[in-house]
Amino acid sequence: DTAVSQTPKYLVTQMGNDKSIKCEQNLGHDTMYWYKQDSKKFLKIMFSYNNKELIINETVPNRFSPKSPDKAHLNLHINSLELGDSAVYFCASSLRQGYNQPQHFGDGTRLSIL
């Protein structure tokens, strides 16, 4: 029973392409997140959604567009991929916004741009 699942696990693609990463959680949580982990292992939040509404949008290029069709899903679409987008992208969820709760992470998607 995977709590937070991301697909694909690995994504290798050419510069300039458009790609999507999917995330689903079966924990019944209201809040979901996208994080980026760079080559030095530094983790930084990109977006947060609460019950399908965007609540955090860090300084991220507008080539990155999150979409939440329902509160159990938060997908990340990336247009015109660049070399600097190579990283591991993690999806996470927590119970609800406005309450500090443990965050639970997916296994990550390793994106490599050729």
Partner 1 sequence: GIQVEQSPPDLILQEGANSTLRCNFSDSVNNLQWFHQNPWGQLINLFYIPSGTKQNGRLSATTVATERYSLLYISSSQTTDSGVYFCASSGAGSYQLTFGKGTKLSVIP
Query: Residues in the site for partner 1, rule: CB under 8 A?
Result: 40-45, 48, 55-56, 88, 90, 92, 97-98, 100-105, 107-108, 110
| Least distance from partner 1 to the Cβ atom of residue 16, Å | 27
**C-alpha to C-alpha distance for 11 and 83, rounded to whole angstroms:** 13
Q: In this structure, what are the phi and psi dihedrals at residue 54, rounded to the nearest 5 degrees?
A: -70, 125
| Least distance from partner 1 to the Cβ atom of residue 56, Å | 6
Tokens of 61: 């290029």
Nearer Cβ to partner 1, position 75 or 97? 97
**C-alpha to C-alpha distance for 3 and 64, rounded to whole angstroms:** 24
| Least distance from partner 1 to the Cβ atom of residue 102, Å | 4
